[in-house]
Structure 1
Amino acid sequence: MRDAVTRLLLPLIALTLGLGSGLAIANPPERQDREALRVCADGNNLPFSNEAGEGFENHIAELMAEDLGVPLVHVWAPQVMGFVRNTLELRVCDVMIGAVAGYEFVQNTNAYYRSVYALVVPEASDLEVTSLTDPALAGRRIGVVTETPPLVALRRVGARVESYPLMVDTRVRAPVRDAVEDVVAGNTEGAVLWGPLAGYYAARQDPPLRVIPLVDDDSGARLEYRITMGIRRGEPQWKDWINDFIDRHQEEIEAILVEYGVPLLDRHGQLLTSDPADAGGEP
């Protein structure tokens, strides 16, 4: 289950499926001068990133490049098996803007946001649940990405689960979008999705869908995650710079995330206000 979560959440979220490089060579010295900010990213993975620069990770990368005073360069690769091996480990790029905290194949920076899985329902739905143990879910047809944390809890509570594939080439398929569109079409009564995905796709329906963060869940499923940036090991100065960047620009980063409908949590697991300036605390 933890491996499945990692595969879904890296970007970010959520969504990078890197494995170890397996290279037996010694790491070269850490780079001291950067002629560009080289970002490893998926070119078709909204709301996180795309080649048109429309994702929130694109905008955070722009903020970083501006702070560094260098051009921004993206190295595009679909976030499928081997993403880390073929990008960071080959040293063709230097940072992943989204990496779940604790992911063992990268060096994690400090977290720059926390989010949680959410239930997406039509505006007129009578479902008001904030926990996957709520008996109101029994018998309801609920969409979920297979192998992700909510799946077992939904089955245990008696929901009729409609599953969508986890491991896909984002150039070809968009299972989360499919899950949300099934809610719109009435094929399902709701979908339980990773917060940034839920917020983004729900807001783009006509009329918009309602997003209910599962902040009171007591099912035992791990639904909350801290998101960091991912870099290579053995680069302490680069990590220190990114941590300092996150600290100095936390408010601006939160504003970007709020614009994309990301449900943000504070360090205690409570929802932040919609206005980052009023939120207080770190995600």
Structure 2
Amino acid sequence: MHGVIRAAIAAAVVLAAAPAPAQVADLVSDDVLRVCADPANSPMSARDGSGFENRIAEHLGQVMGKPLEYTWFPMVTGFARNTLFAGKCDVVIGYAQGDELVLNTNHYYTSTHVLVVRTDGPLAEVESLSDPALQGKRVGVVVGSPPATHIARRGLMAAAKPYNLMVDRRVENPAGDMLADVEAGVTDAALLWGPVGGPLVQEHADLKAIPLLKEEGSPKLYYRITMGVRQGEDVWKRELNSLIRREQGALDKILRDAGVPLVDDYGKGLKEGG
């Protein structure tokens, strides 16, 4: 569903499915930018090209002078094995930093989880999950996601409404369901990964996404997002790192235009420039 979930999904993939480093040197295409992506993971990626990761891929392709070619597969267990490791594509545009399954590029943005509430509701000014205003409220949360631990610690889990973590977005849409429930009053708020919640609330004038920048304790709610390539493809990684460095301003604009909350590298404040 989001960058954090991708890390969890990737961890479940069998490591032996990856080609050995000696075998991957010639897999990267010289003629086409081959991207591995979920066809129904809006607002990040979509088959119709409307996702912000699609726009990032398009921009990189233009800068590199290469046409785009996608390999589509749902972001579920087996994603990396059936796309990147199968040699069908060469880069995953959004991958959480630190996952050892893939080789991570330098991170190109950092984001955090958000609390989605009604703009005219009693929770509109809440900035932290420790705010007393949340006591007794029903909060939508993705099972197994980092915010679930935080709301359990604060005594909010008993009234929480759970939503599924690993889903095939072609048949299930937890994020959309969570927003619909807040609008309908089924829940009072929803906890979402910022690159999902931020863009989606732009389609709902009565909702707002509040970046969670004040949470203490583990697990952390912010994550640095990289691009993922196959282990051993250091030359390709360095090429992407150079692109990220040169095009950082353009990437930031794409992300901000999409509604992604960009934060500093330590998740303590909003990134300057937006």
Confirm or deny a common fold (TM above 0.5): yes
Q: For 2:149 and 2:4, locate their aligned partners in 1 and report how far apart those are by CA, in whole Å.
A: 19
Deviations 1:197-247 (A, max 9, x none): 111221111x24111111011143310100000000111110000000000
Q: For 2:48 and 2:18, locate their aligned partners in 1 and report how far apart those are by CA, in whole Å.
A: 36
Structure 1 residue 155: deviation in Å? 2.5
Q: What TM-score comes out, normalization by structure 1 length? A: 0.89
Runs of 4+ with deviation above 3 angstroms: 13-16, 23-27
Contact 2:120 2:206 in 1 (8 A): no
In structure 1, stretches of 5+ residues that fail to align are 1-7
In structure 2, stretches of 5+ residues that fail to align are none
Q: For 1:29 and 1:166, locate their aligned partners in 2 and report how far apart those are by CA, in whole Å.
A: 32
Which SS does the other structure have where 1:249 is aligned?
A: helix
Q: Equivalences for 1:1-283 in 2 at 5 Å?
A: 9=2, 12-15=3-6, 17-18=9-10, 19-23=13-17, 26=20, 27-31=22-26, 34-127=30-123, 128-159=125-156, 160-205=159-204, 207-269=205-267, 270-273=269-272, 278-279=273-274
Greater relative CO, 1 or 2 (CA 8 Å, sep 6+): 2
Structure 1 residue 35: deviation in Å? 1.3
Which SS does the other structure have where 1:22 is aligned?
A: helix
Q: For 2:104 and 2:199, locate their aligned partners in 1 and report how far apart those are by CA, in whole Å.
A: 25
Structure 1 residue 131: deviation in Å? 2.1
Q: For 2:138 and 2:19, locate their aligned partners in 1 and report how far apart those are by CA, in whole Å.
A: 51
Amino acid at match of 2:78: G
Seen in structure 2, the aligned counterparts of structure 1 residues 229 and 24 have a Cα distance that, compared at 3 Å, is closer
Seen in structure 2, the aligned counterparts of structure 1 residues 247 and 169 have a Cα distance that, compared at 3 Å, is same
Q: Would you say how many aligned residue pairs link Structure 1 and Structure 2?
A: 265
Seen in structure 2, the aligned counterparts of structure 1 residues 256 and 24 have a Cα distance that, compared at 3 Å, is closer
Q: For 2:234 and 2:96, locate their aligned partners in 1 and report how far apart those are by CA, in whole Å.
A: 19
Amino acid at match of 2:6: L
Amino acid at match of 1:20: V
Q: What TM-score comes out, normalization by structure 2 length? A: 0.91
Residue in 2 that maps onto 1:4: none
Q: For 2:218 and 2:120, locate their aligned partners in 1 and report how far apart those are by CA, in whole Å.
A: 29
Q: For 1:156 and 1:25, locate their aligned partners in 2 and report how far apart those are by CA, in whole Å.
A: 42
Deviations 1:169-194 (A, max 9, x none): 11100101100110011111110110
Q: Using the aligned pairs only, state the percent identity.
A: 43
Which SS does the other structure have where 1:73 is aligned?
A: strand
Deviations 1:23-80 (A, max 9, x none): 4864425137611010000001011101100000001101111122111000000111
Contact 2:127 2:212 in 1 (8 A): yes
Amino acid at match of 1:271: L
Seen in structure 2, the aligned counterparts of structure 1 residues 49 and 29 have a Cα distance that, compared at 3 Å, is closer
Q: For 1:200 and 1:188, locate their aligned partners in 2 and report how far apart those are by CA, in whole Å.
A: 20
Seen in structure 2, the aligned counterparts of structure 1 residues 25 and 42 have a Cα distance that, compared at 3 Å, is closer
Contact 1:213 1:263 in 2 (8 A): yes
Contact 1:30 1:235 in 2 (8 A): yes
Which SS does the other structure have where 2:74 is aligned?
A: coil
